[in-house]
């Protein structure tokens, strides 16, 4: 395999089309049943091969460029997997950010997965995607999904993955209420509210049903949305705006704070984004992408699509 002096990869964002959360387990984690979906919105990682220690820079000064960044941690994990001594070296990575942070879009996890793929090439390894699954899972529960992409079912912590037939193409409005939500807060509020709702005998939120695959309908619902929206009512307000502007369905994604709306045409999505903007919130229009599109970056290494992590 020839060495490459420059490797450029995309790190796609995701939404959770559905997210069901079980009661917290003794190990502190919540069992999940979620449907992931990749978006065209993406960060870009440029990896340059050069002499000297590993370096990481970012286009967003608010994004840490040290060991707190999952890209740096991915480099350390892969270096260790390769059995190489000392700290990582021989590459410089520049991260061009487009995916907002603390929005539930998986930007950090996607960056980490893209880094594993790019570094496997830059460091002249013969690792497959299956080989990268183990270090990916150690970096975070969402990271293995981004090695798969497209539409996929996630169980357990979300890292037990089952690729599904790709969701029919959708135009997507992403709306941002102007604040972030930490994953730890979202799950803590979920646990607090679960006890309160059980005492009050409140029922679960009914999912919105939209056509997903031929002969199959998909329920759009997020169990974390209610507890987060109780603390941040703007999330519910944004969903009302999206619904009023013609969204087929809408929900908060992941642990928030971004809210997505699904639209049948790009023009309808543009009108939805305009309505969100008029309500005082940031919004952008993107679209869903299939697994083949996501895995175009994986031509960099010999690979096969895993059935599960």
pLDDT higher than 80, residue 282: yes
Q: Does domain 171-287 have CATH number 1.50.10.10?
A: no
CA–CA distance, 98 with 107 (Å, rounded to integer) = 9
- Residues found in the chain: 309
The active-site residue, picked from 14, 131, 159, 166, is 14
The reply to whether 14 belongs to the active site is yes
Tell me the whole-structure pTM to 2 decimals. Answer: 0.89
* Per-residue model confidence as pLDDT tens digits over 194-241: 877 655 445 565 666 555 544 446 688 999 999 999 999 999 999 999
3-state secondary structure 121-162: HHCCCCCCHHHHHHHHHHHCCCCCHHHHCCEEEEEECCCEEE
Mean pLDDT for 64-70 is 92
136 and 145 in contact (C-beta within 8 Å)?
no
Q: Does domain 6-164 have CATH number 3.30.230.10?
A: yes
The active-site residue, picked from 142, 159, 166, 234, is 142
The reply to whether 48 belongs to the active site is no
* Per-residue model confidence as pLDDT tens digits over 71-91: 999 999 999 999 999 999 999
Residue ranges of the chain assigned to CATH 3.30.230.10: 6-164
Residue ranges of the chain assigned to CATH 3.30.70.890: 171-287
Q: Which of 296, 279, 223, 287 is nearest to 255 (CA)?
A: 223
CA–CA distance, 226 with 232 (Å, rounded to integer) = 10
pLDDT of amino acid 28: 86
147 and 116 in contact (C-beta within 8 Å)?
yes
* Per-residue model confidence as pLDDT tens digits over 14-44: 999 999 999 989 988 999 999 999 999 999 9
CB atoms within 10 A of CB 134: 12
């Amino acid at each position: 395999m020839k060495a490459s002096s420059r490797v450029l990869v995309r790190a796609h964002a995701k939404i959770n089309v559905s997210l069901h959360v079980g009661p917290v387990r003794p190990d502190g984690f919540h069992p999940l049943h979620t449907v992931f979906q990749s978006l065209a919105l993406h960060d870009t990682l440029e990896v340059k091969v050069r002499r000297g220690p590993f370096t990481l820079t970012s286009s967003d000064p608010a994004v840490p460029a040290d060991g707190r960044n999952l890209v740096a941690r991915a480099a350390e994990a892969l270096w260790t997997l390769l059995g190489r001594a000392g700290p990582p070296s021989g590459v410089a990575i520049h991260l061009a950010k487009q995916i907002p942070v603390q929005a539930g879009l998986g930007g950090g996890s996607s960056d980490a997965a893209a880094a594993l793929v790019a570094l496997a090439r830059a460091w002249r390894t013969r690792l497959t995607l299956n080989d990268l699954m183990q270090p990916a899972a150690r970096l975070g529960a969402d990271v293995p999904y981004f090695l798969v992409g497209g539409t996929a079912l996630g169980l357990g912590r979300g890292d037990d993955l089952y690729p599904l037939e790709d969701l029919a193409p959708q135009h997507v409005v992403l709306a941002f209420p102007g604040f972030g939500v930490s994953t730890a807060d979202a799950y803590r509020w979920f646990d607090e509210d679960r006890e309160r709702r059980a005492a009050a005998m409140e029922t679960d939120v009914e999912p919105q049903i939209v056509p997903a695959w031929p002969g199959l309908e998909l329920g759009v619902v997020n169990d974390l949305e209610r507890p987060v929206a109780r603390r941040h009512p703007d999330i519910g307000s944004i969903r009302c705006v999206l619904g009023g502007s013609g969204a087929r369905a809408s929900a908060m994604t992941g642990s928030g704070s971004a809210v997505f709306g699904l639209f049948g045409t790009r023009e309808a999505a543009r009108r939805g984004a305009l309505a969100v903007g008029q309500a005082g919130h940031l919004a952008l229009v993107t679209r869903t992408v299939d697994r083949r599109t996501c895995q175009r970056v994986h031509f960099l290494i010999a690979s096969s699509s895993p059935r599960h992590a």
